Amino acid sequence: MDILDSDFSTAPDGEFEFYRDFINETQVADFVRILEAHRIPFRLEKSQTLLAEAITGHGLLPFAVLKLRPEDFKKINAILEKQVLANPDFIEIHYLQQFDARELLDVVKRPDEWTPEDVAVARIILAQRGIPIPAEDAERFRKKRNEKLRAGKKGNTFWMAAYLLSVVAGGVLFSPLFLIAGVGMGWYYWQDKTIDTEGRKFFTFEPNTRLAGQVIFYLGWVSLAVGFGLMYWFGVNE
């Protein structure tokens, strides 16, 4: 099986989580070589773009999505950082050279929003500009950021209220569209999980948002039962 097939895996069994996506074949091939050289199992899923490249210039979905075992996240992060440190030419032409010190520091403090290579390059550029970030400080930033992420984010109150109303209206009016949207989003707020830079899973939303999602989810089913009850009642009394 070729790595550019729709689904490719070097280890069909086990838990794999999203690690990175790619916009073209060259990126995929380069990264796969690194994984194979270090014998890191992976799964590669080729995306089916929504619009042809000939029309839009690029697809609306990434060319391919790479998944790794959670326990390998830290290993590949360290490998990528080491490769960056050994390639001064890559650092010299990196787009982060255009960032100011404040922006570079933000890259180091928010490693979940950037690649390990970007974070390593940001630290090197800062050091070149006389603002060194010791490894222990970078690790402290990463841990602090992960702790904040694991606490969960707050859901949008307006949209949660809208989904709450949709499940109520969906049951009363017996509208499958409203019910599916409300119940689905209730489940999302309640049970959705995210994975951090260390490969550790955690609930995406903070406890109060998750509680609201749980209420929306179960209320949707109660509303559905009420809708059936109303239909039966009016049907019997016609």
- CA distances from residue 221 to 109, 175, 191 in whole angstroms, order as listed: 42, 13, 16
In this prediction, residue 53 carries a pLDDT of 46
- Do 140 and 123 sit in the same domain of this protein? yes
Residues 75 and 144 in one domain: yes
CA-CA-CA-CA torsion sign (56, 60, 66, 70):
positive
pLDDT of 210 reads 96
Question: Global pTM?
Answer: 0.76
Structural domain span for residue 201: 157-236
Quick one: pLDDT at residue 134? 93
In a shared domain, residues 62 and 106: no
Task: Let me know whether 52 and 76 are in one domain.
Answer: no
Q: Which of 121, 150, 179 is the last residue of a domain?
A: 150
92 and 47 in a common domain: no
pLDDT tens, 49-74?
443 444 444 455 778 889 999 999 99
Domain boundary among 100, 121, 150: 150
63 and 87, same structural domain? no
Question: Same domain for 175 and 222?
Answer: yes
- 83 and 42 in a single domain? The answer is no
In angstroms, rounded to a whole number, what is the distance separating the alpha carbons of residues 105 and 204? 25
In terms of domains, do 64 and 104 share one?
Answer: no
Q: How far is CA 50 from CA 8, 25, 46, 59, 61, in A?
A: 21, 18, 13, 6, 7
Residues 146 and 83 in one domain: yes
Q: Are residues 60 and 95 in the same domain?
A: no
Task: Name the domain boundary from 133, 150, 167.
Answer: 150
pLDDT of residue 231: 61
**pLDDT on residue 25:** 86
pLDDT at residue number 182: 85
Per-residue model confidence (pLDDT) at position 142: 92
Per-residue pLDDT of the chain (238 residues; tens, 9 = 90+): 455 554 555 655 678 999 998 888 888 999 999 999 999 999 988 765 443 444 444 455 778 889 999 999 999 999 999 999 899 999 999 999 999 999 999 999 999 999 999 999 999 999 999 999 999 999 999 999 999 999 999 999 999 999 888 888 776 666 777 788 888 999 999 999 999 888 889 999 999 999 999 999 999 888 877 766 656 565 555 5
What local confidence, expressed as pLDDT, does residue 23 receive? 85
Q: Are residues 142 and 163 in the same domain?
A: no
The residue ranges of DSSP E strands in the chain, in sequence order, are 7-9, 17-22, 42-46, 64-68, 193-195, 201-203
pLDDT tens column, 199-234? 889 999 999 999 999 999 999 888 877 766 656 565
Number of structural domains (the chain) is 3
φ/ψ (deg, to 5) at 211: -65, -40
